[in-house]
Structure 1
Amino acid sequence: MSKQFASAGDMAEKNVSFSQIGEGLYAFTAEGDPNSGVIIGDESVMIVEAQATPRLARKVIECVRSVTDKPISHVVLTHYHAVRVLGASAFDAREIIMSDKARSMVVERGQEDWDSEFDRFPRLFQGHEEIPGLTWPTLSFTGSMTVWLGNRRVDIKQVGRAHTAGDIVIHVPDENVMFTGDIVEYHSACYCGDGHFADWPVTLEAIRAHDLAAIAPGRGDALTGSDMVNKALDNTADFVRSTYDAAAKVAAKGGSLKEAMAAVRTACDPKFGDYAIYEHCLPFNVARAYDEARGIEHPRIWTAARDKEMWSQLQG
Structure 2
Amino acid sequence: MAEHVLPEPAVEITGVRELARDLVVVPNRNVQLVPNIGLIGGTHSVLVVETGMGPANAEKVLEFATDYAAGRKLYLTTTHFHPEHAFGAQVFSDAATFLINRAQATDLATKGGGYLEMFRGLGPSIARHLEGVELATPDIVYDHSYDLDLGGRVVRMRATGRAHSKGDQVVTIPDAEVMFTGDLVEAGQFAIFPWFPPHDTDVSGTGWIRVMERLAAEQPKIVVPGHGDIGGARLLTDVGDYLRLLRDETWLRRDSSMSQDTIVDEVRALMIERHPDWAGQDWIEQGVGCLCAEHPHRNGDSEQ
1:203 aligned onto 2:201: no
Q: Secondary structure at the match of 2:210?
A: helix
1:100 aligned onto 2:102: yes
Q: What residue number does 1:91 align with? A: 92
The structural deviation recorded for 1:57 is 1.9
Unaligned runs of 5+ in 2: 195-201
Q: What residue number does 2:198 align with? A: none
Shift of the 173–197 alpha-carbon distance from structure 1 to 2, 3 Å rule, reads same
Q: Secondary structure at the match of 1:245?
A: helix
Q: What residue number does 1:301 align with? A: none
Q: What residue number does 2:5 align with? A: 9
Q: What residue number does 2:199 align with? A: none
Count of aligned positions: 286
Of 262, 284, 287, 2:286 maps to 284
Q: What residue number does 2:115 align with? A: 113
1:237 aligned onto 2:235: no
Q: What residue number does 1:310 align with? A: none
Q: Secondary structure at the match of 2:36?
A: strand
Shift of the 71–123 alpha-carbon distance from structure 1 to 2, 3 Å rule, reads farther
Q: How high is the sequence identity, in percent, across the aligned residues?
A: 24
Of 217, 220, 224, 1:212 maps to 220
Q: Secondary structure at the match of 1:17?
A: coil
Shift of the 255–122 alpha-carbon distance from structure 1 to 2, 3 Å rule, reads farther
Q: Structure 1 length as normaliser, TM-score? A: 0.79
Q: Structure 2 length as normaliser, TM-score? A: 0.82
Contact conserved, 1:8 with 1:121, CA < 8 A, in 2?
no
Contact conserved, 2:9 with 2:53, CA < 8 A, in 1?
no
Superposed counterparts of 1:246-257, under 5 Å: 246-257=249-260
Contact conserved, 1:146 with 1:156, CA < 8 A, in 2?
yes
Q: What residue number does 1:58 align with? A: 59
Q: What residue number does 2:17 align with? A: 19
State the distance in 2 between where 1:12 and 1:270 align.
Answer: 30
Measured on the aligned residues, the alpha-carbon RMSD in Å equals 2.7
Unaligned runs of 5+ in 1: 224-228, 298-316
The farther-off stretch of 63-72 and 265-274 is 63-72
Q: Secondary structure at the match of 1:11?
A: coil
Shift of the 94–245 alpha-carbon distance from structure 1 to 2, 3 Å rule, reads same
The farther-off stretch of 190-199 and 243-252 is 243-252
Q: Secondary structure at the match of 1:293?
A: coil
If asked which structure has higher relative contact order (CA below 8 Å, sep 6+), I would say 1
The structural deviation recorded for 1:176 is 2.0
Shift of the 135–13 alpha-carbon distance from structure 1 to 2, 3 Å rule, reads closer
Runs of 4+ in 1 over 4 A off after TM superposition: 12-16, 65-68, 294-297
Shift of the 241–154 alpha-carbon distance from structure 1 to 2, 3 Å rule, reads same
The structural deviation recorded for 1:45 is 1.7
Shift of the 143–13 alpha-carbon distance from structure 1 to 2, 3 Å rule, reads closer
Superposed counterparts of 1:152-301, under 5 Å: 152-193=153-194, 194-223=202-231, 229-276=232-279, 278-293=280-295
Q: What residue number does 1:150 align with? A: 151
